[in-house]
Amino acid sequence: MGFQMRTAIQRMGVIDGYQPWQIDYSNVSASSFSTANGSCTSSKCKLYAPDGGGVPDSFLAKKHRADASVCATAPTYAGQHDFRNMSIKSVGIDNQRDLVLVILGVTLELCKEVNNVFGIPNPSGAPPVDATTGTVRYSGTLTQEVSLTQSPVLGETANGISGKQMFCAETAAASGCYHVYYTLIER
Q: pLDDT at position 15, please?
A: 93
Q: pLDDT at position 88, please?
A: 85
Instruction: Give me the count of residues in the chain.
Output: 187
| Over residues 54-70, mean pLDDT | 78
* Half-sphere exposure for 97 (CA within 13 Å, toward CB): 22
Query: Of all residues in the chain, what percent carry a pLDDT higher than 70?
Result: 88
CA distance linking residue 153 with residue 110, whole number of Å: 24
CA distance linking residue 59 with residue 81, whole number of Å: 9
Helices (H), the chain: 2-16, 108-117
DSSP 64: G
pLDDT tens-digit readout, 119-138: 999 988 889 988 766 567 77
> In the sheet that 166-171 helps form, which strands lie side by side, from edge to edge?
129-130, 166-171, 178-185, 98-106, 81-86, 136-137
Q: How confident is the model at residue 174 (pLDDT cuts 50, 70, 90)?
A: confident
Q: Where are the beta strands (DSSP E) in the chain?
A: 81-86, 98-106, 129-130, 136-137, 166-171, 178-185
The full set of domain ranges for the chain reads: 2-185
CA distance linking residue 53 with residue 9, whole number of Å: 7
Average pLDDT for the chain: 83
Asked if pLDDT for residue 9 goes beyond 90, the answer is yes
Q: For residue 28, count CB atoms less than 10 angstroms from its CB and return exposed for 0-12, middle for 13-18, buried for 19 or more.
A: exposed
Q: How confident is the model at residue 150 (pLDDT cuts 50, 70, 90)?
A: low
Amino acid at 134: G
- 152 compared with 169, residue with greater pLDDT: 169
CA distance linking residue 83 with residue 99, whole number of Å: 7
Amino acid at 51: D
| Over residues 90-115, mean pLDDT | 88
Query: What pTM does this model have?
Result: 0.88
